[in-house]
Amino acid sequence: MIISDDIEFDLLLEAIWRKYGYDFRNYARASLRRRMEAFLVKTSLASFSHLQYRMLRDPVFFERSLDEISVQTTEMFRDASFFAALRNEVLPILQTYPSLNIWHAGCSTGDEVYSLAIMLMEAGLYERSTIYATDINPVVLQTALEAVYPLVKIKEMTKAYQQAGGILPFSNYYTCKDDKARLNPEIKSNIVFSTHNLATDEAFIDAQLVICRNVLIYFDRDLQDRAVSLMTRSLSHRGFLCLGSKESTGFLKAKVHLDVFNKDAKIYRKL
């Protein structure tokens, strides 16, 4: 069993921040430490001090390490009931806007971003929408840009699409070659992928819709406050904020600027 004390762990996080500008110091400590310890085993490094030495002197190694440090869990139409609520309750209101800016923070490999794009297409909103999809990890953003999925996943993706209220055959949105399914180019046409760090960066657009699902659960309370305040400032008047199924604004300072729009779907609206 690897034993590394808290001082080494703190120094590692401080070193990452000072060297690369990635601030993990306010991530939920226990879960981050478990991921770091698993990474030590995977890389056969003896301690957090050894990991710090390797990260500081090998930027390529550090970029690969981001996949282990940050959590990348996503899928097409994840939590279908949320997407159904978005389709049935939010999109009809967004229909009244002449143009839409949408920020999808913590987008990971882009599965939910493309899910949103498909819904916007079916609602006749995509041509006047721009989706800014951001993540801390440039490696997963490159995967998102490719929009290629194993063919074996299509069945579950189709089921989730239908549960979310999809109105067309899901096969309309991809082409198959060998054992891969590639999303059609038009689905990517109005999406801008970019790196953005919720721990350190600032707001950059005036958005009618901000989606950040299943990201806050990996932050401590201070960083949750920062992130939700940042996203709330990014919302236009009466804009919508969507969080994950296990997340809420209940104990956060930014809640005074938000009204509950759909409690079950964790959709809020700026006051």
Digit-coded pLDDT (tens) for 188-239:
999 999 999 998 899 889 999 999 999 998 888 899 999 999 999 999 999 9
Residue 75 lies in a domain: no
Are 129 and 200 members of one domain?
Answer: yes
Note the pLDDT tens digit of each residue in 40-71. Answer: 888 898 889 999 999 999 988 988 888 777 76
Report yes or no: 230 and 203 within 8 Å, Cβ to Cβ. Answer: yes
Q: What is the CATH number of the domain that holds 215?
A: 3.40.50.150
3-state secondary structure of 58: coil
- pLDDT band for position 261 (50/70/90)? very high
Residue 177 lies in a domain: yes
Instruction: Judge whether residue 176 has pLDDT over 70.
Output: yes
Are 63 and 154 members of one domain?
Answer: no
- pLDDT band for position 119 (50/70/90)? very high
Are 114 and 158 members of one domain?
Answer: yes
Instruction: Judge whether residue 3 has pLDDT over 80.
Output: no
Instruction: Judge whether residue 264 has pLDDT over 90.
Output: yes
Residue 162 lies in a domain: yes
Instruction: Judge whether residue 30 has pLDDT over 90.
Output: no
- pLDDT band for position 122 (50/70/90)? very high
What is the structure's pLDDT at 211? 98
What is the rounded average pLDDT of the residues 162-171? Answer: 95
What is the structure's pLDDT at 1? 41
Instruction: Judge whether residue 19 has pLDDT over 90.
Output: no
What is the structure's pLDDT at 72? 67
More confident call, 68 vs 113: 113
Name, in order, each residue with C-beta under 8 angstroms of 220's C-beta and a sequence gap of 6 or more: 26, 27, 28, 29
Q: Position of tokens 């939910």? A: 112
Spatial distance between the Cα atoms of 245 and 214, rounded to a whole number of angstroms: 7
Instruction: Judge whether residue 2 has pLDDT over 50.
Output: no
CA torsion through residues 118, 123, 129, 135, sign: negative
Average pLDDT, the chain: 91
Least confident piece of the model among 8-12, 102-106, 145-149, 167-171: 8-12
Name, in order, each residue with C-beta under 8 angstroms of 24's C-beta and a sequence gap of 6 or more: 13, 16, 17, 32, 69, 199
3-state secondary structure of 40: helix
Lookup: tokens for 13: 């996080």
Per the DSSP assignment, residues forming a β-bridge with 191 are 131
DSSP state of 198: T
Are 64 and 84 members of one domain?
Answer: no
Residue 151 lies in a domain: yes
Residue 1 lies in a domain: no
| Paired sense of beta strands 180-183 and 148-150, if any | antiparallel
What is the structure's pLDDT at 266? 96
Are 266 and 153 members of one domain?
Answer: yes
Are 139 and 34 members of one domain?
Answer: no
Are 205 and 88 members of one domain?
Answer: yes
What is the structure's pLDDT at 36? 87
Are 177 and 217 members of one domain?
Answer: yes
Least confident piece of the model among 9-13, 109-113, 130-134: 9-13
**pTM of this prediction?**
0.85
Number of domains forming the structure of the chain: 2
Return the percentage of the chain with pLDDT > 90, whole number: 66
Are 237 and 104 members of one domain?
Answer: yes
Instruction: Judge whether residue 4 has pLDDT over 60.
Output: no
Report yes or no: 127 and 138 within 8 Å, Cβ to Cβ. Answer: no
The boundaries of the domain holding residue 116 are: 80-270
What is the structure's pLDDT at 139? 86
Return the percentage of the chain with pLDDT > 70, whole number: 98
Q: Position of tokens 């120094």? A: 11
Instruction: Judge whether residue 96 has pLDDT over 50.
Output: yes
Q: Backbone dihedral region of 4: left (phi > 0), alpha (psi from -120 to 50 degrees) or beta?
A: beta
